[in-house]
A and B are shown apart, each in its own frame.
Chain A
Amino acid sequence: MADEPLVLTKREGKSFKDIVMEKLPDGGNLNACLTCGTCAAGCPATGLAGMDPRKVVRMAALGMDEELKKTPWAWFCSMCTRCVHACPMNVNIPQLVYNMRASWPRDQRPRGILRSCDAALSTDTCSAMGAREEDFEFIVNDVLEGVREQPGFENIQAPIDKQGAYFFLNQNSREPVNEPEEMIPLWKIMHLVGADWTYGSKGWAAENYCMFLADDDAWKHITEVSIRKAEELGCKVFLNTE
């Protein structure tokens, strides 16, 4: 923070806070902060880059827009919402942070998050690791074949695009891509309870890095592909497996 006193000058047009408030229900209560510090006291990101949630809200109130838009703290807050859960005035700090992220030029946002989002946009599986429909189908069937050799699991299923299944399951990409054997216990549970379930060839990936990237159109697309597939298959319950 600056050692020099901050001189507030009359602003032309809307402040960053004004713009964010227009997007949020009840303006995110961004004018309601009591400066009590409950948010900062319980935030694991307090102190990183010299910032904390209260400072973010105060900086927004003071119109320190340029500082807000460039602090890397936007990426150190995980938007976990514990601050707003604890806040007596329900100040929506995580949405303020989301909009700080969104104010970064897209190509300057953290490369790992950007790449994960772009990978998900490159295939209708929505996998942030870029796993394609045929990759997923191959690995699921390959692993399934092995499980069927186990007594009691000769008829175990892991269907993809089963029309009319009750449950639509998602699956984090790291399982099929990095540790496929971790899918087996889940399938065994579904088998033992006799659940009628399916994956979708499209939209099976559980992660949505476009949301973390603060790319509204992209994260909406990812979510829609997944939900539309579940609807198309006539599934009753979208079951989040993590």
Chain B
Amino acid sequence: MQSIFTWYAKWIREGKLKVNSDWNKNLKIKFTVQDPCNIIRKSFGDACAQDLRFVVKSCVGEENFVDMAPNMSNNYCCGGGGGFLQSGYTEERLAYGQKKLDQIVATGADYCIAPCHNCHSQIHELAEHAPKHWGTVHLWTIICLSLGVLCRNERTYLHDDLKEVNIPEWDETEFLV
């Protein structure tokens, strides 16, 4: 049992995954990342969290990555875990998520990369309650964006600022509504 974060990092280091952050050089769109509890603290630890950061920085540019505080194995759960999303206790789930919301707001990031689907759903919902509605994206979306192979119909979770950035020249797909 291994985490795909570690493999993404390995493939980038080996030159197999030719990600490039030039698309964000002038845009300077800021990203933060959620360390999923089950993957980082509960399974693979800080080495995997470092791999995750290496991947994100390689894709968005080191200067455009802003970490949450605290982070890695010490990060807060988003409030979507442990079945909370399906438990029906919505009010309590959002109250729990306030800590995560404050953490993300403090980074000033335009996007939060949430590489676990539970975190993604919760953090996406938390954004609706934030003063600035950050975007919540899967990690693979940002990898493919930085590879120049992300089509328009694969950009559901990107905001307008990234709808037309680094589009493959052959892309004839349309945005999904």
Contacts and interface: CB of A to CB of B under 8 A. Distances in A.
B16 A193 contact: yes
Nearest to B12: A193
Interface stretch (A19-27, A58-66, A69-77): A69-77
A185 B82 contact: no
Contact of B140 (A75, A189, A240): A189
Contacts, number: 152
Interface stretch (B25-33, B61-69, B83-91, B127-135): B83-91
Given A110-B89, A212-B82, A181 B156 contact: yes
B96 A45 contact: yes
Given A175-B117, A193-B17, A241-B4, A151 B170 contact: yes
A47 B98 CA distance: 12
A185 B99 CA distance: 30
Interface string A170-207: 00101100010110111011001110000000000011
A90 interface: no
A225 interface: no
A77 B92 CA distance: 10
Interface residues of B, number: 58
A79 B38 CA distance: 10
A192 B143 CA distance: 12
Given A81-B37, A240-B3, A75 B147 contact: no
Contacts of B84: 75-76, 78
Contacts of B144: 185, 188-189
Interface of B: 1-4, 7-8, 11, 16-18, 36-37, 39, 41-42, 73-77, 79-84, 86-89, 92, 95-100, 115-118, 121, 138, 140-141, 143-144, 147, 149-151, 153-154, 156, 168, 170-171, 176
Interface of A: 42, 44-45, 47-49, 72, 75-82, 85-86, 110-113, 115-116, 150-153, 172, 174-175, 179, 181-182, 184-186, 188-189, 192-194, 206-207, 209, 212-213, 237-242
18 contacts: A44-B77, A76-B92, A80-B76, A112-B83, A150-B171, A151-B168, A182-B138, A182-B156, A185-B141, A185-B150, A189-B144, A192-B17, A209-B86, A212-B86, A238-B2, A239-B7, A240-B39, A242-B39
